[in-house]
Amino acid sequence: MRYLTAGESHGKQLTTIIEGIPAQLPLTKEDINHSLLRRQKGYGRGKRMQIEKDLVEIMSGVRHGYTLGSPISLVIHNDDFKHWTDIMGEDPLEDNKPLRRVVTRPRPGHADLNGAIKYGHRDMRNVLERSSARETAARVAAGAVAKTLLHHLGIEICGYVKEIGGIQAEDMPHLTIHERQTISEVSPVRTLDNIAEQKMIDAIDTAKREGDSLGGVAEVYVTGVPAGIGSYVHYDRKLDGRIASAVVSINAFKGVEFGIGFEAARRPGSMVHDEIRWHETEGYYRETNRLGGFEGGMTTGMPIVVKGVMKPIPTLMKPLESVDIETKEVFKASVERSDACAVPAAAVVMEHVVAIELAKAILEQFPNDRFPILKKAIHDYREEIRRF
Ligand SMILES: Cc1cc2nc3c(=O)[nH]c(=O)nc-3n(C[C@H](O)[C@H](O)[C@H](O)COP(=O)(O)O)c2cc1C
Ligand SMILES: C=C(O[C@@H]1CC(C(=O)O)=C[C@@H](OP(=O)(O)O)[C@H]1O)C(=O)O
């Protein structure tokens, strides 16, 4: 399975093409729209999210509620495009009609300056339109297809917020995956801890009042993945490595942890590794899950627990200094709109990129053009490892 996305933030639409999803998987646009709606919500987002109503159009690869095995193409329209038609049009500019609002002032923390240098753009709109996290809507659409596939294989996944602006949510190890899914869906900041929730909301309000922004930590929790998915034989087949790469590829994400993560550096080995147990009906399991479901680049069969660190949104209402690339003068940018905190939305994005990596690994390990046969192969594999 592989996928590509295309589209500019204020262009006509976002497009996603997914290749390699087997035929006969049940899939409806509601499966995808549910994910898109979750990504749009979340306390701390700015005015753009009030303009957009992210709804997918399935353009190909699905018929009467089932995948065909052919490429799936998905479209999400940008409702904001109607306000940008003169700036985002594809026709060449008339000589006597210069473009309004050329962007010559790079924003610290964005792709603006590096992208302009790399591609030779003097108008940094040519960079920021694509580097914008608007693209994550297209990735979530692909992830929703992956999540649907995983769901039909008994694998459930949930993303939620662990920390915003230094306010940490308690660990809730007793919660089931379904409780996690339900609670995170109703929480405005997508956290499982209702005491931390109000403090997070207050912290976002304070940051917003002060013209500042906040980052945080998102966690993704996955159940039902059998042991042995991924591989130890090559660096690029290690599934934890692939997940780490996918997480850090989300806009503004700067780090990843599995299980206890960086805390492992501070503990002796006896307090890090998970003892192995065996149960007559369940097979092998670990007494603890400090390594977050991975050993040797492969799943252990325990829940996958992965955290991603998001830096604060770079666009600030009290802006940082930068340099105009035409005049070379120092300026402080004027800002019209931006999110103050997007960690709740980013937790949903992270959930979906992890789902994509898991689905890819499963389809590599159990390749089949027909979903029912893949489902049977996974069922048989589960039975076999139970008796191993
Ligand atoms: C869901 C989401 C929403 C975001 N919203 C904004 C925003 O409103 N304003 C902004 O300046 N950056 C926003 N960002 C972050 C930038 O897209 C990101 O920092 C930028 O593309 C530079 O990439 P880097 O931080 O990975 O280096 C958002 C990121 C995500 C994941
Ligand atoms: C559009 C989305 O996020 C955008 C990501 C983003 C950025 O710079 O990354 C900047 C903002 O867009 P605008 O500049 O149009 O206000 C966010 O709203 C989205 O998540 O769908």
For the chain, give me the number of helices (H) and strands (E)? 11, 17
Structure confidence at residue 334 (pLDDT): 67
**3-state per-residue secondary structure call for 112-157:** HHHHHHHHCCCCCHHHHHHHCCCHHHHHHHHHHHHHHHHHHCCCEE
Q: Is 268 annotated as a binding residue?
A: no
Task: Identify the pLDDT of residue 100.
Answer: 65
Q: Whole-angstrom Cα distance, residue 110 to residue 314?
A: 7
- Is the CATH code 3.60.150.10 the one for domain 2-386? yes
Residue 377: in which H helix or E strand, if any?
A: helix 371-386
The secondary element (H helix, E strand) that includes residue 242 is helix 239-248
Provide block-wise average pLDDT over 10 residues at a time, the chain (388 residues): 97 98 98 96 92 96 98 97 87 69 92 97 96 98 98 98 98 95 96 97 96 97 98 98 98 98 98 97 95 98 98 92 96 83 98 98 98 98 95
For residue 97, the model assigns a pLDDT of 66
**Measured torsion, CA atoms of residues 263, 159, 347, 351, in degrees rounded to the nearest 10:** 100
Ligand 2 pocket, mutate which of 8, 9, 348 (most atoms under 8 A from CB): 9
Q: Which of 115, 109, 144, 118 is nearest to 254 (CA)?
A: 109
**Ligand 2, atom 21: closest residue by C-alpha:** 134
Which atom of ligand 2 lies nearest, measured to the CA of 52? 21
Q: From the CA of 110, which ligand is nearest?
A: 1
Cβ–ligand 1 contact at 167 (below 6 Å): no
CA-angle at 339, arms to 249 and 108, nearest 5°: 65
- Give the pTM: 0.97
The ligand placed nearest to the CA atom of residue 250 is 1
**Residue 251 in marked binding region:** yes
Ligand nearest to the CA of 36: 2
Distance CA 353, CA 140 (A): 7
- Which numbered ligand comes closest to the C-alpha of 253? 1
Residue nearest to atom 9 of ligand 1 (CA): 338
Ligand 2 neighbours (beta carbon < 6 A):
9, 46, 48, 52, 132-134, 136-137, 251, 337-339
Question: 347: Cβ below 6 Å to ligand 1?
Answer: no
Cα-to-centroid distance, 257 and ligand 1 (Å): 20
Mutate to test the pocket of ligand 2, among 338, 341, 343 (most ligand atoms within 8 A of CB): 338
Q: Sketch the domain layout of the chain as residue ranges.
A: 2-386
Amino acid 90: pLDDT:
80
With a threshold of 0.95, tell me whether the complex ipTM lies above it. Answer: yes
Q: 354 CA to middle of ligand 1, Å? A: 19
The whole-number pLDDT of residue 335 equals 77
